[in-house]
Each structure stands twice: as C-alpha cells, then as structure tokens.
Chain A
Amino acid sequence: MKLNGAQILIDCLKSEGVKHIFGYPGGAVLHIYDALNVCTAIDHILVRHEQGAVHAADGYARTSGKCGVALVTSGPGLTNAVTGIATAFTDSIPMVVVSGQVPSPVIGSDAFQEVDAVGITRSCVKHNFLVKNADDIAETVKKAFYIATTGRPGPVLIDITKDATIAETEYEGYPQTIKMRSYQPEVQVDAEQIKKAIAIIEKAKKPIIYSGGGSVIGNASKALTTLTHNTGFPITQTLMGLGAFPATDKQSLGMLGMHGTYESNMAMHDSDCIITVGARFDDRITGNLEKFCPYAKIIHIDIDPSTIGKVVGVDVAIIGQVNDVLQALIQSLDTKKLENIDSWWKQINDWRSVDSMAYRTKQGVIKPQTVIEALYEVTKGEAIVTSDVGQHQMWAAQYYPFDKPRRWINSGGLGTMGFGLPAAMGAKLADPDRDVACVTGDGSIQMMLQELSTMLQYHTPVKIININNGYLGMVRQWQEFFYDKRYSMSYMDALPDFVKLAESYGHIGIKVEKETDLKPALIEAFKQKDRTVFIDILTDPTENVFPMIPSGAGHHEMLLAGRDEMASTNDSGLNLV
C-alpha cells in the first residue's frame, strides 16, 4: 500500500493502540495533523502550550500505566516540550514524543523554526531518533514504543523531518516485533542473589522495607503487599512510591526522608536490614550520607543496574523487574522461619506515639494540612491526586494516605512547577470515572494556567485545590531557616482573583477564607461531577513543612513541628538544593 510518511506514522500509532495524543500543530507537522484529522481511532487533545501537552501525556501514563504520547512542532514546539520530557525522564515515565523537524535539505541552515531537537533532548530522554526518510518511520515508531515501555521506562523522542512526512512510500504495515542487538531489557532474576538476600532477611532483627517509584511503575503493588504481610516487616515509602502499599495498613510507617515521618526515619536509622524495592537513594531520602543507615545490611532491588552503588554501597543487589524479584523472594521466604521482631515493633510504636505529623491549629487561620485532611475525607481517600511542586506537594503526600498505586501523581524527581494541572487533565482522560484533584499553590498554578482552556474544550472536569498563602512557600521556608529570614523574591504580590479567572475560562470558582467554609466548599465542588472547580483557599502564610531532617543531619536527627527550633543559617543549609 502506498502512503505518505504522515499517514504511515498515524497508522503506526493506531496499531500501537494509542487512544489519546496531546499536541499542538505547527508548520513542520501539518502533514501529520492532516493524516490525524481523518483518523477516528485516536483522540487528539489540543493543549495551549507544548509543556502542557507533555505533562498531560505524562499524567495519562502515570495513571493508566500505558505509554503517553505527545506531538509537537519543530523549534519552539520542541523547546517548550523539553521541561515536560525532562520531568518524565527523571521519574521514569513511559512516553513517546513526536516532534516535527524542518525539511532534511535545510537542516543545519538555521531555517525557520529549526532547532537541533536530538541534540537538545539527548540528556533528558531514554533515547531519541531523527527520521529523514519515510521508509524508516514504521520501524522507528516500533523501536520507540519498545524502548519507552520496557526495562526502566522513559521518554523517547522521534524527530521527523517534514519531507519524510510528505514522501510516499510502500507501507507493509506496522512491524509485529522488533529486535535490537544493543538493547535487551529482559532480565532473568539471579537465584544466587535471591539466596544471599534471604540469608540477610532471615537473620534480621530490625528489618524494614524501603519502597520507591519502581514499585508503582513496575506494577508490583500486589507482590509488595504480599511480601510485607508475609514477613510482618514494617514498610516505608518514598514520595514516588506512595500507594504501592496501602498507607492505612498498620505495617505502613508512612513516607521517609526530608519530610517523612519520625518513625520511618528512625526505623531506617536503627535498622539492621533494609530491603530496597525500586528506589534510588535520592538525596531527599538519605539526608547526610555519612550518617545514613549505619547499622544496616542493604538489599537493593532495581531494574536499572546503574542505580546500584551509585549513591550508597549495598550488600546484595538484585537486578530485575521489581515484580519478578518480589515474587522470587516471596516464594523463597515461604519455607523460612524469620526472627521474632516483636521488640522491633514495640520500638517503632514508641516512635509512632511521638505523632510527628501533629500540627498546631490557630484560631481564624486555615492550616494547609487541614485542607488536605478535608480533601481526604470528602473524597473518601479514593481520588487521584496530582500535585505541583512546593510545600503543598509535601502536605498532600503527608496528609492524604494513598491506599492504591497510580493515585498520587507528582513530579518528584525534577520538581517541575506547573506539572499538576495538565497532569490532572491527563489523569482524568485516563480514568474518567474517578474524581481527580489537583493540589497546587498560588505560585505553581500560574505556570500552566492556560490549560484551563483545554480542560473546558475537552471536558476534563477536575477539582483544583489551591493552597494560597501568597508566598512561594518552600522558598520562603528555606529563607526563614537558612538565610536569616531574608525573604528575597518569595512573596507574590498582585495575585489574580482566581475565582474570576476560573469563571472567565468557563469553570466554577470558589473562594474559601474561613475554616468553617472549607468542607462545605469541597463537598459542593465534588458534587459538580461535570465541571472543573477552582477552589482558592487562603491558608496560613507562615506555615512550614514539618517534620524535617535539617541540613547535614541524619535520619535520627529530625526536627518536629512546635517541639524543636530550626537552627538558623548554617553552612550545610546554604548548600542544600
């Protein structure tokens, strides 16, 4: 069958099972849009900014587990997409981004809307391709999806020149399979390593499971839950891992790290056996590396060998799909007798009784933590919650216990402000029957506001929970702690009237200034099943995120709200990023 390159591309995407594409047209992709226009199998979501397209595809991928797809034009289309691509890359999200490129004869001539897309994205994609020939499109698309979705997932960019989309060629259909000699993501779990891990686990008197984003992305929630229940071990989860194991289960100690719970961090510090599941010892988790887990033997399960030993030396590394490895561990542990860990649990429960998430309420002021607790109550813990980046992100993670994976959608690795709203739109398209809440702040929301327009056009009703404290709160908090309260550029003057703003985009706006109005407003908002509602909530402008591992400290040196004083400016605080 003779087709042009654009038609081949669209047929490939259709054959790959793509149902939604988030994109924005432009000169270099007009042929692709022409072919897309007659394709009924794929819905195209016309965003208002290419960064929004990629974040929406990202939210769609995180919610559904499928590969997200975005389509952008050359030049500024691509450069606008880069922040979204880097966000997906840092959090290992499967995604294929197609970008237009100027015609191949003019590449390198500084043509209109020309940038070196492959060069610009090289360090923030799992792989990228430049396609200059229509004959190469089908195989490249197959490779791109294969690479994006297997092994440690990640975004793949296909940059296609306009002439390749115009040229007609013989198309023999989308390839069924693909083999690449330089990429073999299938890994067999090494039985020898399992044996070594079991030997450590058997002797553990103070074990803990430390689970990360790999448990969510690797769909290992069930196996993780079984292992945790079968062993009776306590479990702590990273920001990216929340929901893989139910937060309301009594074996869950909550999040760990900089703003984790006291019991999680103390247990990590005192543990003699840490089972690391799909996590990468991020600096937000470890605190001061010299004080990190001094007594523990560490078992590290990960699909990516380069995460092993990158930050922290480990005793046993098990490379493989998290789910496969957990199954192997469950099976091997079946016949084993573990140490009695009653005294360990007693110790942990003592730490728990410290109640590190307690916060002081203040008459006449809405506490941001209260907002998240009310959101949890009103949605019965069943909503998908996306977030932007900053204090509100931490409060959402701390005060909304997630019991299921793929319900908590946030930019944990790159920390991209502006992620939350488009991600919520993607999440709603992936799971239209579920309530979606975007927890955001007055700083973050203004980075992607324009997507309110897309949300009306494509009818993706979400509830925007704006924790409005008038500050770039996390910046303000660090300036308070580490810069002697010199609040440089962290106060946002001249905020818009968010209610009118929402209304001008055709949505509902509600302003909440009193705590007594909070829950009724949320109930009313979630009643509006078919409408996007922007709930602008004025919260305590000086509230800080606690507990906190101060700079340069170890897990056992956490500071608690209202009980410890944060030491002011110090050298390690100034060096924090």
Chain B
Amino acid sequence: MLENEAGALSRVAGLFSARGFNIESLTVAATNDPTLSRMTIVSVGDDNIIEQIVKQLEKLIDVVKVVDLTATEHVERELLLVKIDVNPNTQADIDRQIDQFSGKIIDVSEDTYLIEVAGQSKKINEFLDSLDASKILEVSRTGVTGVCQKREG
C-alpha cells in the first residue's frame, strides 16, 4: 500500500532497477481510500533477496505497508485479453476451450474473437498454450494482483 501520489510508482520501479531486483509483473490502482494505492509486484529471488526487497520498499517514504503475500494465505488473479483468428472450422473448438477456462468472448468480428480470461497466472498460461499459437494476434495481460485472505492484511 502506498500514498496515491504522483511519482510513487516510479519510486518503486526505480528501486527495483537501481538495486538489481527483477519485476515479473506490477499492477497498481487506487483503493477504496482514494489517498492510497495498492500495488502488487511479482518478483523472483531467494529468501535473502525477497527480505531485502521488502525492507528496501519499506524504506520508501511513500510506502505505507509492505506484505509478502506468498508468506500468507492469499488470493491472486490476473486478467488476460487475447485476440485470435477464427474461422468456421476452428470456431467450435475454440468455444469449447473458452468454456473450459471460464473465459468470455467480449468482442466478435468477421474473423476474430476478443477473449477475456481471469484467474491465476498458471491458468492463463494454460489457456494460451491450448490455443493454436499461429492464430494469436495480440495478447495483453494485466499482471498479477492479490490480497491476503485473513481479515487484517
């Protein structure tokens, strides 16, 4: 959680590049309290690196609170928008796959589908893998957002 102020995002992003930590994904938006933003960052590293990331983030003046979600019971979700080629021969197969992954067709043109799938990153990867790669026109993923499950997070 961080102050919803101009520049707060770049402080966090700058910290990761300056200290050589990697960012797999980063999502950020204001919360129900408009003065606060919630940022969910996915990074990879051993325990020492994750500990350093948490401590360095806590040092940023704009950061109000840092939680290592993977150390708690938590829920994480990601949203995928994917545009693919469809034709009468492949349509039935694709409809089935979308159903199987609880996806939604949100726009249809003469020969394309725009599909939405939400879920854990693993599910999104699996859905993308299930598609014929040569038919994928565009992929847009939001990156992971998450919250911990217990009352006080």
Q: Which A residues have a C-beta under 8 Å from some C-beta of B?
A: 118-119, 122-123, 126-127, 130, 147, 180-183, 304-306, 308-310
Supplied contacts A122-B11, A181-B64, A309-B48, 8 more A-B pairs, CB within 8 Å: A119-B10, A123-B18, A126-B61, A127-B61, A304-B59, A306-B58, A308-B55, A309-B51
Question: Counting CB contacts under 8 A, is B85 at the interface?
Answer: no
Question: Which residue of the partner chain, among B3, B18, B56, B63, contacts A306 with CB atoms under 8 Å?
Answer: B56
With a cutoff of 8 Å between Cβ atoms, the chain B residues found around residue A181 in the complex are 64
Known: A122-B10, A123-B14. A310 touches B63 (CB 8 A): no
**Chain A, Cβ-Cβ closest to B62:** A182
Chain A: minimal CB distance from B5 (Å): 10
Contact A182 B3 (CB under 8 A): yes
Chain A: minimal CB distance from B119 (Å): 32
Contact B7 A183 (CB under 8 A): no
With a cutoff of 8 Å between Cβ atoms, the chain B residues found around residue A147 in the complex are 61
Question: Counting CB contacts under 8 A, is B52 at the interface?
Answer: yes
Chain A: minimal CB distance from B28 (Å): 15
Contact A305 B64 (CB under 8 A): no
**Chain B, Cβ-Cβ closest to A118:** B7
Known: A123-B18, A182-B2. A310 touches B61 (CB 8 A): no
**Chain A, Cβ-Cβ closest to B63:** A182
Measured CA separation A150–B117 after assembly (Å): 48
Measured CA separation A126–B59 after assembly (Å): 9
The 0/1 profile, CB within 8 Å of A marked 1, for residues 1-19 of chain B is: 0110011001100110010
Q: Is the interface of B mostly helix, strand, loop or mixed?
A: helix
Contact B61 A183 (CB under 8 A): yes
Q: Which B residues have a C-beta under 8 Å from some C-beta of A?
A: 2-3, 6-7, 10-11, 14-15, 18, 48, 51-52, 55-56, 58-59, 61-64
With a cutoff of 8 Å between Cβ atoms, the chain A residues found around residue B58 in the complex are 305-306
Contact B7 A130 (CB under 8 A): yes
With a cutoff of 8 Å between Cβ atoms, the chain A residues found around residue B14 in the complex are 122-123
With a cutoff of 8 Å between Cβ atoms, the chain A residues found around residue B59 in the complex are 304, 306
Chain A: minimal CB distance from B134 (Å): 42
Chain A: minimal CB distance from B66 (Å): 11
Measured CA separation A127–B63 after assembly (Å): 11
Chain B: minimal CB distance from A32 (Å): 22
With a cutoff of 8 Å between Cβ atoms, the chain A residues found around residue B15 in the complex are 123
Q: List 20 A-B contacts (CB under 8 A).
A: A119-B10, A122-B11, A122-B14, A126-B61, A130-B6, A130-B7, A181-B64, A182-B3, A182-B61, A182-B62, A182-B64, A183-B61, A304-B59, A305-B58, A306-B56, A306-B59, A308-B55, A309-B48, A309-B51, A310-B52
Contact A306 B52 (CB under 8 A): yes
Chain A: minimal CB distance from B108 (Å): 40
Measured CA separation A183–B63 after assembly (Å): 8
**Chain B, Cβ-Cβ closest to A119:** B10
- What 8 A-B pairs have minimum CB-CB distances, sorted nearest first? A306-B55, A127-B61, A182-B64, A123-B18, A183-B61, A122-B14, A305-B55, A306-B56
With a cutoff of 8 Å between Cβ atoms, the chain B residues found around residue A122 in the complex are 7, 10-11, 14
Measured CA separation A130–B2 after assembly (Å): 18
Chain B: minimal CB distance from A96 (Å): 14
**Chain B, Cβ-Cβ closest to A128:** B7
Chain A: minimal CB distance from B75 (Å): 25
**Chain A, Cβ-Cβ closest to B52:** A310
Measured CA separation A45–B38 after assembly (Å): 44
Measured CA separation A550–B3 after assembly (Å): 47
Chain B: minimal CB distance from A185 (Å): 10
Measured CA separation A182–B36 after assembly (Å): 11
Chain A: minimal CB distance from B13 (Å): 10
**Chain B, Cβ-Cβ closest to A124:** B18
Measured CA separation A122–B10 after assembly (Å): 9
With a cutoff of 8 Å between Cβ atoms, the chain A residues found around residue B52 in the complex are 306, 309-310
**Chain B, Cβ-Cβ closest to A132:** B6
Measured CA separation A127–B51 after assembly (Å): 22
Chain B: minimal CB distance from A301 (Å): 16
**Chain B, Cβ-Cβ closest to A122:** B14
**Chain B, Cβ-Cβ closest to A152:** B59
Chain B: minimal CB distance from A180 (Å): 7
With a cutoff of 8 Å between Cβ atoms, the chain A residues found around residue B64 in the complex are 181-182
Contact A180 B61 (CB under 8 A): yes
Chain B: minimal CB distance from A529 (Å): 44
Measured CA separation A180–B61 after assembly (Å): 9
With a cutoff of 8 Å between Cβ atoms, the chain B residues found around residue A182 in the complex are 2-3, 61-64
**Chain B, Cβ-Cβ closest to A310:** B52
With a cutoff of 8 Å between Cβ atoms, the chain B residues found around residue A306 in the complex are 52, 55-56, 58-59
Chain A: minimal CB distance from B61 (Å): 4
Measured CA separation A10–B70 after assembly (Å): 48
Measured CA separation A352–B119 after assembly (Å): 66
**Chain A, Cβ-Cβ closest to B56:** A306
Chain A: minimal CB distance from B52 (Å): 6
Question: Which of A118, A123, A182, A310 has the most CB atoms of chain B within a 10 A radius of its CB?
Answer: A182
Measured CA separation A122–B8 after assembly (Å): 11
With a cutoff of 8 Å between Cβ atoms, the chain B residues found around residue A119 in the complex are 10
With a cutoff of 8 Å between Cβ atoms, the chain B residues found around residue A180 in the complex are 61
Measured CA separation A122–B18 after assembly (Å): 10
With a cutoff of 8 Å between Cβ atoms, the chain A residues found around residue B51 in the complex are 309
With a cutoff of 8 Å between Cβ atoms, the chain A residues found around residue B55 in the complex are 305-306, 308
**Chain B, Cβ-Cβ closest to A183:** B61
Measured CA separation A177–B33 after assembly (Å): 25
Measured CA separation A126–B11 after assembly (Å): 11
